[in-house]
Each structure stands twice: as structure tokens, then as C-alpha cells.
Amino acid sequence: MFTKESVDWLNKNSLFNKLEPDCFKRILVKCIAPKKDEDILIISDKGFEDKRIAPKIAANYFMAAKELGLRPHLVIQEPKLRGEYAEEDVIRALQDLRKENIIIMALSGKLGKIKGELGASFRTFAKENNHRFISSISLGKVKKEHEHVVLDSMDVDYREMQAKGIDVKSLLDNGNEVHITTKAGTDLYFNIERKEAIANTGEYVVPGSGGNIPAGEVYIAPRWKKVEGTVVIDGSSACKGGTVLVKNPIRLKIEKDEVVDIKGKEEAKQLRKTLEWAYRKAKYPWGIYRVGELGIGINPNSRIIGTTMVDEKTTGTAHIAMGSNYWFGGTIYAITHLDQVFRDPKIEIDDEVLKI
């Protein structure tokens, strides 16, 4: 559905109700700085019964852009799972978008594969065409009672969060070893010597740049085979089929940056099955069990609700991810990237305690 049909569908389903006054105007202005002559392509999906925060967010971006005197276009498809293709309307809208414009995604699941003519991936397509983008994906399991958490985590003081992100990034960029402990039992060492951290703080004003909203994490790839110890996951666990809100902690034993043992109850079983599935499916399975990321949450408005994009941004959490990290300075190519969020970490960088 292109703009007119999409707007009609949103109206028919009463999804044009404003979620937060002026929140989306602030996001547009502060995070992506649109110009009057730029086109803004908003891509969303229909969501699921009682779980329609993705099209609600898309509707509010559309209204905010209109009120700012900008040029928004809207396309809505059915929700897509990993491995499925984006619909033809989405492919066509991306093809028709002039270079150096803006894309906003608010999706219950994934964008879907965008086929060979648009590039190997959405990020590649955006970079090659100098599009700036905002991405809010995998929102399909957000319960109505948690919608306000998602919105709160989007509506932050970006200047303050960006300053915090720069500070944390600088400490990691200049650090050699990170030691993380928690009262739950985490005792983990990361060697990050000569690695460069990424501060995801919602600043996407450079052509070809983009990232998540909610923003609010600093993350880094470890050195090859230089992660050792134990991590206890007591926040949320990204698995095949979605994010699991952890009630029974998952204990991971890591040797030479590879997960060699997984202990726990049902949540551990789901993660184990996910990794086994990915290992069987992968053409090159060696990266599936590798720890490819250390991330630190710096968003003061986020909370753990069982949605990875929100959970991993929460101040007072950290996360590791097994799988792919090639796009942010690592050497792991894998079909999965599974974020595992844990609470209340004490983080030491070269024996100095990190304060957030």
C-alpha cells in the first residue's frame, strides 16, 4: 500500500491517535535533521491484533513530518519474519527514492529481504545511496501496557545522552581490558585492545548513516578469541522467534570467545535450541557460538520489557551478543546476532570502574 492507501488503512484502524505530543517532531529534528526539499519514506506493517505499536509510530512520524512542512511518503506491508521477502510496494518505494534522502522504519518484525537489485542488505543500500535512516524494528511483541516504555525511551534528552555516549566510547577506545561482574554471578573478561567502540546515541545526520530509535548504547567488538569467563543473563534473551523476558537466569560459560556451555531452565533451553538451529542452517557455522559484542546501555528512560531494541539500551544493563559483528569492527560473519541482556553490571575498564 502506498501513501493514500496506507493513510486510509491507518484511519480505518484508528491508528492516527497521537501517542506523545511533539515527541516525533523532536526525534525528526534532533536525530535526523530533515531538510524541506528531502523526501521521507516511512515503511511500516500492519502489526498484530492488540500489538500495533509499529503502525502507530509510523502514523505519528507521518503526522509530525506533515506538521513540520516536510514531504513524507508512507508504505505499509504485512509483518515479515526473518528470511521472508519485503513486499513489492516496499521494493518499489525504495527503488523510486532519490539519492540522499531519508528512510524511517517502524516494524513489528523485519523489513524483509529487499532482493539483489537493491544490494546485499538494507544497510548497504542506505550507505550506497547516502540515505539517512531511523530503524525501529521487532516491535511485534510489545504489549499495550509497555507501549509507554517504548515511547519514553524514544523521547529522551538526546544532547545529554550523546555526551554520555562520547564519554563511554572514549574510555573503551582507549582501554585494553574490560572486566564485568554482577551479584548474579557474572565474571567476564573482554580484551578490546585497539578496537573502536560505536556510540549509538540517535545522531544520524551524516549521509549514509542511521540506526535505532530508541537509541542509547555503546558497543564494541572484542579481539579474536579474547573473551573468557561466565555471564549470567537475567534480563532478556534474543532467540529464534523473538525476545524472551528472562525469569530463570541463563548461565553461559565462555572460553576463547566461544560459548561452550549453557545452563538454566526453559530460557536456557530456548537459547540452546536457537544456537543449534542456526549452526545447522549456517553455510559457515563457526561464528554462531562466538561472542561478537559487548554493549552498555545508556538510555535513562528505557526499561527491560522483553523487546531487545529497548532492553539493551537501558541504563544499568549490559549485554553480549553471539554471532555476526563484521559491520562494527569485528571479524565474525554469521546468520545470527543474538543479544543477551543482564542487569546491574559492575564494569571496569583497565581496573577503573565505569560510572554511568
Residue with cell 585494553: 176
Based on the fold, state whether residues 65 and 203 are members of the same structural domain.
no
Average pLDDT, integer, range 294-320: 97
Based on the fold, state whether residues 118 and 167 are members of the same structural domain.
no
Evaluate whether residue 129 is within a structural domain: yes
Residue with cell 566461544: 258
Average pLDDT, integer, range 30-43: 96
Quickly state the pLDDT bin for 11 (edges 50, 70, 90): confident
Query: In b/e form, how buried is each residue of 271-288, taking b as 16+ CB within 10 angstroms?
Result: bbebbeebbeebeeeebb
Average pLDDT, integer, range 299-320: 97
Based on the fold, state whether residues 10 and 50 are members of the same structural domain.
yes
In the listed set 113, 140, 167, which residue is the last one of a domain according to the structure?
Answer: 140
Name the helix (H) or strand (E) containing 151. helix 147-154
Based on the fold, state whether residues 53 and 202 are members of the same structural domain.
no
Q: Are 111 and 86 in contact (CB under 8 A)?
A: yes
Evaluate whether residue 145 is within a structural domain: no
Evaluate whether residue 197 is within a structural domain: yes
Alpha-carbon distance of 57 to 44, in angstroms, equals 9
Q: What pLDDT score was predicted for residue 300? A: 97
Tell me 354's DSSP state.
P
Quickly state the pLDDT bin for 232 (edges 50, 70, 90): very high
Based on the fold, state whether residues 38 and 84 are members of the same structural domain.
yes
Q: Where are the beta strands (DSSP E) in the chain?
A: 39-45, 71-77, 102-106, 132-136, 177-181, 187-191, 198-200, 210-212, 217-220, 227-233, 236-239, 242-245, 250-255, 258-263, 291-297, 317-323, 337-343, 346-349, 352-353
Residue 147 has pLDDT above 70, yes or no: yes
Alpha-carbon distance of 44 to 54, in angstroms, equals 7
The answer to which of 9-13, 35-39, 64-68, 333-337 has the lowest mean pLDDT is 9-13
Average pLDDT, integer, range 240-259: 96
Based on the fold, state whether residues 115 and 198 are members of the same structural domain.
no
Evaluate whether residue 308 is within a structural domain: yes
In the listed set 111, 140, 169, which residue is the last one of a domain according to the structure?
Answer: 140
Based on the fold, state whether residues 176 and 317 are members of the same structural domain.
yes
Based on the fold, state whether residues 111 and 175 are members of the same structural domain.
no
Give me the domain span that covers residue 8: 3-140
Based on the fold, state whether residues 248 and 326 are members of the same structural domain.
yes
What CATH code is carried by the domain that includes residue 123? 3.40.50
Evaluate whether residue 148 is within a structural domain: no
Evaluate whether residue 152 is within a structural domain: no
In the listed set 109, 140, 171, which residue is the last one of a domain according to the structure?
Answer: 140
CB neighbour class for 347 (10 Å; exposed up to 12, middle 13-18, buried from 19): buried
At 344, phi and psi to the nearest 5? 50, 55
Q: Helix, strand, or coil here: 182? A: coil
Evaluate whether residue 147 is within a structural domain: no
Residue 265 has pLDDT above 70, yes or no: yes
Q: What is the mean pLDDT of the chain?
A: 94
- Overall domain count for the chain: 2
Evaluate whether residue 86 is within a structural domain: yes
